[in-house]
Structure 1
Amino acid sequence: MFDFDMLGLSPALNKALGKAGLKTPTPIQNQAIPLALEGHDILGLAQTGTGKTLAFGLPLMEQLLTQPGKPAAKTAKALVLAPTRELVNQIADNLNMLANHTPIHVRTVVGGQSINRQIAVLNRGTDILVATPGRLIDLMDRGAVDLSQTKHLVLDEADQMLDMGFIHALRKIAPKLGTPRQTMLFSATMPKQMEELSKAYLTNPRRVQVSPPGKAADKVKQSVHFLDRDAKPRMLREILSKDLDALTLVFARTKWGAEKLMKSLVRDGFNAASIHGNKSQNQRDRAIKGFREGSINVLVATDVAARGIDIPGVAYVINYDLPDTPDNYVHRIGRTARAGREGEAIAFCTADEAELLRDIQKVMKLEIPVASGTPFQPSEAPKKSGGNRRRGGRGGARGNSQGGGQGNSQGGGGASGRGNGRSRGGNGGNAQGGRPARDGARRSAEGGQNGGQNNGQPGADKPRRNRRRRPRKAAEV
């Protein structure tokens, strides 16, 4: 382990580090910075909150300081890509802190802001451009940015970019960059797609790793409560009431569920706010600012919206709904125990989330301690049949929208019914199917063909028309 002043950095960068009170590198910085200063491509694997921004930011700044001349119009000497607006802003804040005593300029381009203003800024050129892939593609299509002079590329939270479907954007952006170039890729997890990404964009990379992919930060105390879904709100209120002054981040699975949960907490007297894809950029910025300053104690978030949260003081992360993938669980609990601090991650698990919990524990190679309740056995989880069971109900609930419609056909064919939240089949002309309750009414006229009191004659119901499923919405940004 060495101090920053042993790296031979420029006086301006050492001054910035000193003013920020930074003297000793974190483990990921200790490994990555010397290699990056030598010009190697870097594959960095570390949990969130371990100092990855400085791990690529310091060598990036140092190398740019040795490159004379201002950037040409519309060009950027270095490009940093991140999956969300919040994370872009967080990275830019840290880079600007380092650049405070240098001539280096850092610019950001993200969605949700005036593209014309961004075009005007880029027209002057910049040293470092921090961007979300989607907005950068928009600017490229308009001819507003020229990446041919870009010799440094950083992909931060690369695994999350893959999860959000940005691989196509990366394939479009990468060929436009100058060559040769240095590429640094940082991630908290290492799924198979990440290996393919590193092979495609890194040249003889040096791999630096602080903890095995999928392993939570050592200082995060984890626990799980096994409970019924209806008991989740009460359990959440009890936990929050025990430490009202602590900063607590609560994760819900859906945007609708996050908003509903936040409003219920506000009604109960908690200082709560929410961030998700349906919030404007200004609303999200205000919520995060209030959370950072302590005027908001509870922040309810979806996975994607929380990617940019880098607040050292988060004491608790509560998984109100378990995520669909173990990697997202790792990212969630990485919001606490940042910068060497301790933190606590609490999970709620219902019977139909038991399989998700088992997947998480398998990937993390640990058994999360039980805080209350009895672990659910596989036989207790709702059975999947016919592919009709939805993998998540509304409002953050998982699998709670069972339903269909009862349709009774008597004497030759009149069918009627209503959605009642549960479908039962068998004799008496009851239609069978696991459709969501809200679809029950329009799908209930199926009874006659299944039998019933029709004197042995076939029912006169019309055959069900095939309905196209609506495509899933793209990931929120």
Structure 2
Amino acid sequence: MHFDQLGLAEPILLAVREQGYTTPTPIQAQAIPAVLQGGDLLAAAQTGTGKTAAFTLPILHRLSQSEQARDAQGRVIPRVLVLVPTRELAAQVAESVRDYGKNLKLRSMVMYGGVGMQPQIDALKRGVDIVVATPGRMLDHHGQRTLNLSGINTLVLDEADRMLDMGFIHDIKRVLALLPKQRQNLLFSATFSDEIKTLANGLLNKPAVIEVARRNATATTVQQTVHPVGRERKRELLSHLIRESNWYQVLVFMRTKHGANRLAEQLNTDGIGADAIHGNKSQGARTRALASFKSGKLQVLVATDIAARGIDIDQLPMVVNYELPNVPEDYVHRIGRTGRAGAEGQAISLVCVDELRFLRDIETLIGKPIDRKLIAGFEPDPKERAQPIRVGRTTIGGGKPAGGGGQRRGEGPARGNAGHGHGRSDASGHAHGSGRRDGGRPAPARTDSGRRGSSSAPRRDGNRG
């Protein structure tokens, strides 16, 4: 199948061809016709499957075939609202809208927190057809009466599972109450969890259901390798591998914000250009780091899971798990950022004895063992014993911590059962969920309007979502 068989307008097809694409991905081949028919859609698709183009292309087509919406004064008002969990993803979706809609007489804008509202207000005054937004900033605009939602006929909830993880369910419900009742609803999620099914049941009307790239699927184009190493020699091994293998543009994952900062500083001391990106960084710092990394000026970017959500880079060659995630599904999300569109990629995991439990969980999830390869001179001491790993206030694995018994994986904040709200642990290990900030302090559920340090640097990854 080719894009020109999907019923899209020629100006959109021209833009797709200019991006270098002729064949739709599975999610695109199924979702585009469903969206063009005008009905609701529930789609399970991870980042990297082409989901952004799967809803962007048919939405642009439908908008191009209908009249603009206007208020009582004749001013153009939005017809499409796309809600996303982070600034990074907002910027990326907005760029896809611009790229694919560049031959159409349509206007779009992106709105997120952490930046001044006035430029966004000015864009709304000029008139836009599509708004890509994070929930909190969108509600800020509506509260200040700068955003008219009466013309919205299409709502997209992108990465809905992550929005629920980050505690946005109350904001989402507030948004839904503000929109016209008659509209098309498109919900995209990595999986059909019970929470997503509950949300879908209350939002969608007889939706088409599409599921591709199940959560436990890893791309065959990604070569996965585990390097066993002592816990105190990980940084030394990483520097050795980067130098000896002449790695460039390496995305390194950590569990904690402080660990990400520390590793970036140590790599710089070793003469390897590195920077960290996480929730405590200012937006400007994150934008600069991400832009330098994408351009190739920065050799290593050290990231936490939530901060890296939505980072998509063409032909990213290398992902390194400096620390394995305590949630095995996050491993799949991490390594899914390499080996895309048929390109070869590598996913290297530096694993100490403390993380063997996490490694077993990951291998169980993906249904196969990961190749082990010892690096000469960095072999772990066979006498080294597992120690507990702290994730926020929870201790995982390694035997008994001081002051009480250990906890099994899944009992702590990663699954939301330790009194932290529901959500995954981020940077400093504190849970993301209703009413918690990145640092674990009590806060309102809405965190994206200048209170969650997300970046907005765009990327150009065509139709790979």
TM-score by length of 2: 0.80
C-alpha deviation, 1:313, in angstroms: 1.9
| 1:299 aligned partner | 301
Alignment of 1:30 with 2:29, yes or no, is yes
1:256 alignment partner AA: H
C-alpha deviation, 1:244, in angstroms: 2.6
Identify the match of residue 325 of structure 2 among 315, 323, 326.
Answer: 323
Distance 1:44 1:239, change over 3 A: farther
Rounded to whole Å, the distance in 1 between the matches of 2:381 and 2:82 is: 44
Identify the match of residue 472 of structure 1 among 417, 431, 440.
Answer: 440
Distance 1:326 1:199, change over 3 A: farther
Question: Quick check: 2:69–2:151 contact (8 Å CA) kept in 1?
Answer: no
| 1:241 aligned partner | 243
**1:108-134 C-alpha deviation (Å, 9 max, x unpaired):** 001111023322322343211001112
**1:65-115 C-alpha deviation (Å, 9 max, x unpaired):** 112135445842101111111111111111101111111111000111102
Rounded to whole Å, the distance in 1 between the matches of 2:272 and 2:96 is: 31
Distance 1:74 1:353, change over 3 A: farther
| 1:441 aligned partner | none
Alignment of 1:354 with 2:356, yes or no, is yes
2:339 alignment partner AA: A
| 1:467 aligned partner | none
**1:289-337 C-alpha deviation (Å, 9 max, x unpaired):** 2111111121111112212311112111111122232232222111111
- Local SS of the residue matching 1:145: coil
Identity percentage over the alignment?
42
**1:190-223 C-alpha deviation (Å, 9 max, x unpaired):** 3332222222222222222222222222322222
Question: Quick check: 1:74–1:144 contact (8 Å CA) kept in 2?
Answer: no
Question: Quick check: 1:353–1:398 contact (8 Å CA) kept in 2?
Answer: no
C-alpha deviation, 1:18, in angstroms: 2.1
Alignment of 1:60 with 2:59, yes or no, is yes
C-alpha deviation, 1:380, in angstroms: 5.5
Distance 1:297 1:249, change over 3 A: same
Alignment of 1:166 with 2:168, yes or no, is yes
- Local SS of the residue matching 2:55: helix
- Local SS of the residue matching 2:317: strand
Rounded to whole Å, the distance in 2 between the matches of 1:112 and 1:398 is: 34
The 5-angstrom pairing of residues 34-433 of structure 1 reads 34-72=33-71, 73=75, 75-372=77-374, 381-382=386-387, 390-391=390-391
Distance 1:231 1:104, change over 3 A: same
**1:165-192 C-alpha deviation (Å, 9 max, x unpaired):** 1112111111211222112122233333
Rounded to whole Å, the distance in 2 between the matches of 1:21 and 1:244 is: 29
Rounded to whole Å, the distance in 1 between the matches of 2:215 and 2:204 is: 19
**1:243-266 C-alpha deviation (Å, 9 max, x unpaired):** 335321001112221111111111
Rounded to whole Å, the distance in 1 between the matches of 2:201 and 2:368 is: 30
- Runs (5+) with no aligned partner, structure 2: 407-436, 455-465
Distance 1:372 1:168, change over 3 A: farther
Distance 1:18 1:103, change over 3 A: same
- Local SS of the residue matching 2:14: helix
Rounded to whole Å, the distance in 2 between the matches of 1:241 and 1:340 is: 26
Rounded to whole Å, the distance in 2 between the matches of 1:217 and 1:276 is: 26
Rounded to whole Å, the distance in 2 between the matches of 1:82 and 1:376 is: 45
C-alpha deviation, 1:398, in angstroms: 7.7
Rounded to whole Å, the distance in 2 between the matches of 1:275 and 1:355 is: 27
Rounded to whole Å, the distance in 1 between the matches of 2:60 and 2:158 is: 16
Distance 1:274 1:166, change over 3 A: same
Rounded to whole Å, the distance in 1 between the matches of 2:143 and 2:76 is: 13
| 1:438 aligned partner | none
My pick for the range that moved more, 99-108 or 216-225, is: 216-225
- Runs (5+) with no aligned partner, structure 1: 384-388, 404-422, 424-431, 436-469
- Local SS of the residue matching 2:238: helix
Distance 1:54 1:177, change over 3 A: same
My pick for the range that moved more, 146-155 or 77-86, is: 146-155
**1:405-464 C-alpha deviation (Å, 9 max, x unpaired):** xxxxxxxxxxxxxxxxxx6xxxxxxxx6799xxxxxxxxxxxxxxxxxxxxxxxxxxxxx
Rounded to whole Å, the distance in 2 between the matches of 1:342 and 1:134 is: 38
Rounded to whole Å, the distance in 2 between the matches of 1:114 and 1:74 is: 22
Rounded to whole Å, the distance in 2 between the matches of 1:228 and 1:338 is: 31
Question: Quick check: 2:47–2:310 contact (8 Å CA) kept in 1?
Answer: no
Rounded to whole Å, the distance in 2 between the matches of 1:286 and 1:210 is: 34
My pick for the range that moved more, 131-140 or 53-62, is: 131-140
Distance 1:245 1:324, change over 3 A: closer
| 1:411 aligned partner | none
C-alpha deviation, 1:390, in angstroms: 4.1
Distance 1:71 1:294, change over 3 A: farther
Rounded to whole Å, the distance in 1 between the matches of 2:169 and 2:303 is: 24
2:315 alignment partner AA: G
- Indicate the structure (1 or 2) with the bigger Cα radius of gyration: 1
Question: Quick check: 1:266–1:272 contact (8 Å CA) kept in 2?
Answer: yes
Question: Quick check: 2:352–2:380 contact (8 Å CA) kept in 1?
Answer: no
Rounded to whole Å, the distance in 2 between the matches of 1:194 and 1:348 is: 33
TM-score by length of 1: 0.78
Distance 1:41 1:312, change over 3 A: same
Question: Quick check: 2:69–2:79 contact (8 Å CA) kept in 1?
Answer: no
C-alpha deviation, 1:273, in angstroms: 2.0
